[in-house]
A and B are shown apart, each in its own frame.
Chain A
Amino acid sequence: MRVKGLRTIVNRRALNPAMYPRTNERFPDEKLGRILTQLRALRSRLNLLAIQHGLFYSLAMLIAAGAIVYACAFTLSPLNFMIIAAIAAATAPVAIVTATRTAWSMRASTARAASLADERAELKGRLATIVTIAQHRRRGPMWSYLVEDTLSRSEEFAPARIERRRISKGIFALAGALVLAGIAWPISKIRHAQIAAANQRPDDLTLDLNDLHLRPADPGDDSGVTVSADPATMRQLQARLAHDGLDAGQGNSTSLDSLVNHARDLAGNLQSKLTGQKSQPQRLNLKLADAADPFAQDKDRNNNFAQQHKHNDNPAGQFQRDQPAGKEGDLPQNPVHNENQDQDRPAGAGDMGNQSQGGKNSADDNQDQTADANSQQNGDQGSNGGAAHGIGADPDSLFGAPAQAKLGSEGFEIAIEARPLDKGPKGAGHAYEPPKVRTTLSTDQEPDEPVARTDVPSEDRTTIKRVFER
């Protein structure tokens, strides 16, 4: 604007030199030009800072939001990731718009630059008055004095003195965002390596259903545990959950639950895309065994296994959604054996261990049971301490010096996530809150350690030896 005004003055002078005598008015205009040039430099600096402000803050917001989302994709559960990602997605645009608006409001016209210079250099309105009056044709007799007076203070409103910064403070925000991104990158790498390692380490754990301590899990809690069991045990688990009031979510299917499930799946897909992992990470397979009612279990197992071969969506697999492919049909292969139960049980007592084979072929069920019983009698000495002193042991080596057994009595707690397949993301699902399972050793159960050799009174030895010889 000021430039245009100056050009107008110059052009008029060229057209009519008599009206604008050069001797008297040239010098004030030249001085005015120097003042306005200085103001334009200040204006450019202010506008550059405004542009930097908008650019740096916008970039900082984008980078920070991206870094947070990327890091959370590796570290958080889908539900938490979804929340964080939604917050980031909502916050980042607002912050960018705010930064842009602030930058827009920071832009300076020459008049604004003059006012700012007046304020910061304490020029008491000299520059603002010059900029305003310069547009008028009649400038008054004191115009020359004002220009001269202002020009004599030109050092006070030099651009470098009025605005010392060449780089906006937004650079710090950008640097902070880059640092955040720098932190998020190794976090994602470390987490990626951990997940990859977990995928290569299948963990199986077999527990007795009676030893489970059930309680509700937090929504979205991903314990990384997959539960598998035979259908009868699963039903009993469900019955327990119902009894403990932990399966309320299954019974009350609401649109909110469905929405949460969809959101979780969406977040999971997004996480998969961000992390580059196509499948779910390998989980700890928690295999349940019901040692309390082996006969009923056998009966249920036979019925359910027959159905299982007829339908792919077998009940036994309803808790196996998160299992890796190829393991969906698997059933516990190493059920927990209570030594006392094993000894008290008839020959079919070892059928629990046969469940895995039953999943393959129900026709071989009896044969498998016999084989399983034999394997029990042959002694799984590596895993079952009772076998060393039980059936199949050498009667001559029954007695010896008492051993110092390592008896463990501690239990453990583990959280499991289990969702029926038909309640999963592909089904008409509703939210299922996975139970947290606390397993403690039964008071009737000996620790999972070899039974310690103990002293046998000499009068009883003959009787015991006779039993084993029989």
Chain B
Amino acid sequence: MSTGEIRRVIIIGAGQAGGETAQRLRQGGFEGEITLIGEEPAAPYQRPPLSKAYLKGDLDIDRLMLRPASMYAEERIALLTKTRAVWIDRANRKVRVEGGRELPYDALVLATGAKPRKLPLVGADLEGVYLFRTAADVDRVREKFVSGAKLIVIGAGYIGLEVAAVARQLGLNVTVIETAVRPLARVTSPEVAGFFLDEHTRQGVRFVLGGQPALIKGSDRVAGVALTDGSELPADLVIAGIGVTPDIAIAEQCGLTVNNGIVTDRQCRTSDPNIFAIGDCAARPMVHYNGQIVRLESVHNAVEGAKIVAATLTGGKEHTEEAPWFWSDQYDLKLQIAGLFHGYDRVVFRGVMADRAFAAFYYKGDKLIAVDAVNRPAEYLGAKMLIQTGRTLPPNLLEDMSRPMKELVASAR
């Protein structure tokens, strides 16, 4: 497909991945039509602050916006908000939106994102039970986030722990229920999880680990959570942070290859060469991890997909992929993560947890594959650079705090 043939690009999904794609197409000199279709009422905005500064009230919605709403018209990007794409006709290259209107495309980008899992429990629809994905979700929660209120967070992943941290800072009583025996079980090592458990406990969060919620109690609104062991915890509000599922309905409808996300090649191309998929909804071969196909839920991945697709569609310079990165803010702790830790067989620490500034380096054999850095930006960036360039460092060197990270990275092979 030569770029000359592409006059009309449709992007389904107006989150960060979709919004960035539209902007980067224009920055890359694409002159054709761009239509950006999103279900939410707002122009594309950043989601990470929703469970952090936005929930706390430190940022208003304008500051979450990727670009001012007025910029879409200036850049000739047709932004269709509150609009749901319902059907893709691949043979005729058309997208149908709710209401029946059909829009033709030459290239289509699926950036449909992910949907938060609902609690599979009786009472999950009660007033006072919240999911966490959109600004509107958080707006509903925020007015209830008052000192003394009893909050139960179900799920001790990053969202759950970030919400718990904000809630404690605002003076709520917080209990976190997690079915696994430790928090962050899916996303980090037992050691780093233990550090965050201790930190939250010290900040006054109560944990029920290995706890199985049985039902949400309440008549007109939530009153508490009953566990399968028969215990009951009272609650004024319940927030579920039990993960997301990729929004692949429209990809399945039109018969694209799907396997825990819309499967793409390195150029983010799906099984239909005219359709790309990026962001939370897509799974792509990871260049730094032997081409393993992974679906990532992160800003890095959203932006990366946008850069790759924009470069492909504008015929620009091929984008050099970054190592995956991620961050989480809890209290005064900044956790910065680079790489993918799954499959590690050894973890090495630089610095000590008691100082609240340390980094955990994950190795597979002698290869450095990931880092979790807490208040240690140099270790984070250094490791990210190593992973990106396929270099590694002997673990014993990393443990030597007398040598600065920058010097170690420069010596790496």
Are A and B subunits of one complex?
A: no
Q: Which residues of A contact B (CB under 8 A)?
A: none
Q: Which residues of B contact A (CB under 8 A)?
A: none
